[in-house]
Structure 1
Amino acid sequence: MPQWSDYSTGERIKILRGREIKQTQLAEMTGLSVVTIQKAEQDKTLSLPTLLAIADSLGVDTSVILGQQAPRRSLCREDRAMLRTLSHAVHDTAAGALPDTEEEPTLAQLRTMTERCWSTYWQGRYSEAGALASPLLKEAAAHLHAQPAGEQAAAWGALADAYRVSAYVSNLLGVRDLAYAAIGHAQHAAQMAGDGIREALVTSGRSWVYLRDARLAEALKLAEKSAIDIEPKFSRATSDELTAYGSHVNFAAVVASRMGDKERAADFLSQSHATGARMGSEHRAHGTLFGPVTATTQAVGVNVSLGQSGKALALAESIRDVSGLTDAARNRYALDKSMAQADARMWDASLDTLEEALVRSPEWARHQALPGVIADKVGRASTARLRRVSKLIGGHTGTGFAQATAKTAL
């Protein structure tokens, strides 16, 4: 099974270029001649200026082209370019490098921009959310710089929000170093803002980074802390406070389930359901959505992780309407339900559920690993639908690299 480093430099350029970019287009993008591009892909010549131009145009580091670092699966050229721009924004603003702006945005304008970022993110349009986060970071940093000493708390809060959404985009797309950096800067900004809920939100965000980095024990510790820190008194809690708390205990249940801790997961789910019942309906606040439907759909995923497919399917039967959820939450629930059906050997139902999610949200789906896992499980029982669903999954791999190297371990 070949590794990324096993390919020649020319082969790696060709794979990264994929089917979406012709040699003539890459030549135009780089300002190089078509002959130079052809020679580079044939391993005949690759000067440093040519290497730098090609790497920049394809949105990757030179180390990826040279085989020293593998590209991230499912990322197309636009994704990689966005992540480089976002990385620059995260690190530049943290270093105090501010944009040249004639007029700093107001706090209200920053809040509107932040809401748009989160809305785009929860629709599963991650590259677009990252593209919006870059200018948001710069504008938030400029706004903070313009505030007089002693009157910066709200501005620090806006900057914390911008760093947090940047961390979420980076983490979901697998750029772990950038996610760690962004969530670290978010933590500092939230502390400067003196906002307890924001600090808890950032702590929960760091827990998610740890979870994706397989640091499960640390992830659970942080998830529990973030929930405890903002646990409200139900008798007088606002919808915003309940939304923040409910989403936190929900996530703590997810982490506990990944560790196989059924008792703790059940305890967190109980708190989640109680919070949702208290709210009565879904509510959006602090860049997230929570309510009784969110609590139940998340419980389906938690029980799937714990190997309790029967319980997961019973919960799914009780869910009648998911239209109030975000696109990403609705699609994730579909994957959890499909996995539960596959575990229960309901092959056709599993593929139907999976196919519906893939067709509904192809942009979201190409960043998910679970569809391939489900297809592999269902594949043990030959079905007519499997070929169609497998084709859909193959279509979501993004770059020519993923298509050409589906057999590689990256």
Structure 2
Amino acid sequence: MPRWSDYTTGERIKILRGKGIRQSDLAEITGLSLPTVQQAEQDKRLTLPTLMKLAAALRVDISVILGQQGPRRAMEHADRTTMRDLSCAVHDMAVGLLPEDISAPSAVELRQTLDRCWELYWKGNYVEAGAVAALFLGEAGAHLHAQSADTASEAWGFVADAYRLAAYVANLMGSRDLAYAAIGHAQNAADRAADDMRSALVSSGRSWIYLRDARLPEALALAEKSAVDIEPRFSKATVNQLVAYGSHVNFAAVVASRMGDKDKAANYLSQSHATGARMGAEYRAHGTLFGPVSATTQAVGVNVALGQTGKALALISSIKDVSTLSGAARNRYAMDKAMAQADAKMFDASLDTLEEALVAAPAWARHQALPSVIVQKVGRASTARLRRVSELIGAAPAGSSSFLPATAKTAL
């Protein structure tokens, strides 16, 4: 598989342009002539002013076009545009810069927009969720500026929610620096809102960023603290409190499993199952969804991570209906199920599960690493099906060098 630096500059421009943007479109966006764009992609002529215009239009650094660093995995033009806009919104909001044409919405309107943001996020529509989150940050800021000192606490809560959502999108899209910045601003806003629940939610979000950044000890310590901080008395707990607590202990189990700590993972899974059983059904609150099905499907992934394939398969056989889960949660469960099947050498079943999820949610799958891991694990077990699934994710089957990166396949 060629490295990013192995392509010529012209080939890299063509790859970044992708199938969704024609050469004529790129010429119109940049203000360059069509022959200039064609010559750049043919490595015939590329001046610095042209290079700068192309980089701005393609939403990448100049160093990416020159091959000095690779583009983020599976990022298309729309992804890069969203992340650039979201980054501007996060950093501008942090220094008090708001869009000039924005008016202050009411608290009711903000709650409706926030619900819409989370709905998009949990459907796996991360690009659209990021675009709406960028707008929501500006609206939350305008609402805050319109409040008096006596009414600012609730407004700071909206700001914390906006930053947390931005951090989640950035983390999933691989923009780790932006995720760290956004979650830091979310923590400051939650503190100023004087809201213990929001502070715990933000801390759990930071723990997730640590997890994806391979900072496992810090992730576990923070996940455990977040769960303890909001542990309710079950006899008096509201549904919203149980949603928050159940999702927190669930995540603590995930982090413990990544560290190979079977005892801690089992303990947190026990608390998760008890919380789900107490609820009796799935409920949505605080930007998340939790209930008995969430507890069981998450336990599948925990047992897969711990190498306990038999337990994972037993749980899978007990799960009859996942329709109450969010789209993203269903997709993640499908990945864990496919991995368990691959570990059990049920290769055809694994590929069937994986292919079904990839076809159903291609936009979600582009931002996940697990499909490629599953394909590599299955190896050469089923050539026709394996090649078909590999093409869906733009990955090469084990031992193959005939596939280009996902970004390259769309244009070359």
TM range, normalised to the smaller chain?
Answer: over 0.9
Matches for 1:55-66 after TM superposition, within 5 Å: 55-66=55-66
Contact preservation (8 Å) 1:4, 1:70: yes
Using the size of structure 2 for normalisation, the TM-score is: 0.94
Contact preservation (8 Å) 1:60, 1:81: no
Contact preservation (8 Å) 2:179, 2:209: yes
- Deviation for aligned residue 1:309: 0.8
Using the size of structure 1 for normalisation, the TM-score is: 0.94
- Deviation for aligned residue 1:403: 4.5
Amino acid at match of 2:332: R
Contact preservation (8 Å) 2:303, 2:312: yes
1:351-405 superposed Cα distances (whole Å, 9 cap, x missing partner): 1111111111111112111112112222232354223222322399xxx963538
Task: Give me the whole-angstrom Cα distance separating, in 2, the residues matched to 1:68 and 1:152.
Answer: 46
Partner of 2:399: none
Amino acid at match of 2:52: L
Matches for 1:31-46 after TM superposition, within 5 Å: 31-46=31-46
- Deviation for aligned residue 1:68: 3.1
Matches for 1:104-119 after TM superposition, within 5 Å: 104-119=104-119
**Cα root mean square deviation, aligned:** 1.8
Contact preservation (8 Å) 1:140, 1:155: yes
Task: Give me the whole-angstrom Cα distance separating, in 1, the residues matched to 2:269 and 2:341.
Answer: 21
Contact preservation (8 Å) 1:299, 1:312: yes
Task: Give me the whole-angstrom Cα distance separating, in 2, the residues matched to 1:333 and 1:103.
Answer: 41
Greater CA drift, 25-34 or 266-275: 25-34
The percent identity for this pair of structures is 69
Secondary structure in 2 matching 1:350: helix
Partner of 2:217: 217
Contact preservation (8 Å) 1:244, 1:286: yes
Q: 1:260 to 1:395 in 2, by over 3 A?
A: closer
- Deviation for aligned residue 1:102: 6.1
* Residue 404 (1) aligns with residue 396 (2): no
Secondary structure in 2 matching 1:151: helix
State the 4+ residue runs in structure 1 displaced beyond 6 angstroms. none
Amino acid at match of 1:184: G
Partner of 2:347: 347
1:308-345 superposed Cα distances (whole Å, 9 cap, x missing partner): 11100101111111100000001110110111011111
Partner of 1:208: 208
Partner of 2:240: 240
Aligned residues: 403
1:276-325 superposed Cα distances (whole Å, 9 cap, x missing partner): 01111100000000000000000000000000111001011111111000
Partner of 1:157: 157
Task: Give me the whole-angstrom Cα distance separating, in 2, the residues matched to 1:13 and 1:382.
Answer: 35
Amino acid at match of 1:233: R
Task: Give me the whole-angstrom Cα distance separating, in 2, the residues matched to 1:310 and 1:272.
Answer: 20
**Unmatched runs of 5 consecutive residues or more in structure 2:** 397-403
- Deviation for aligned residue 1:8: 3.5
Matches for 1:73-92 after TM superposition, within 5 Å: 73-92=73-92
* Residue 197 (1) aligns with residue 201 (2): no
Partner of 1:338: 338
Q: 1:102 to 1:326 in 2, by over 3 A?
A: closer
Matches for 1:9-28 after TM superposition, within 5 Å: 9-28=9-28
Task: Give me the whole-angstrom Cα distance separating, in 1, the residues matched to 2:146 and 2:293.
Answer: 42
Contact preservation (8 Å) 1:16, 1:401: no
- Deviation for aligned residue 1:10: 2.6
Matches for 1:1-400 after TM superposition, within 5 Å: 2-101=2-101, 103-394=103-394
Task: Give me the whole-angstrom Cα distance separating, in 2, the residues matched to 1:322 and 1:269.
Answer: 18
1:136-176 superposed Cα distances (whole Å, 9 cap, x missing partner): 00000111011112320000000000000000000001000
Secondary structure in 2 matching 1:144: helix
Contact preservation (8 Å) 1:300, 1:315: yes
Task: Give me the whole-angstrom Cα distance separating, in 2, the residues matched to 1:60 and 1:403.
Answer: 14
Secondary structure in 2 matching 1:289: strand
Contact preservation (8 Å) 1:279, 1:292: yes
Contact preservation (8 Å) 1:18, 1:401: no
Q: 1:401 to 1:271 in 2, by over 3 A?
A: same
Task: Give me the whole-angstrom Cα distance separating, in 2, the residues matched to 1:226 and 1:182.
Answer: 18
- Deviation for aligned residue 1:6: 4.1
Task: Give me the whole-angstrom Cα distance separating, in 1, the residues matched to 2:140 and 2:102.
Answer: 14
**Unmatched runs of 5 consecutive residues or more in structure 1:** none
Amino acid at match of 2:157: G
Secondary structure in 2 matching 1:284: strand
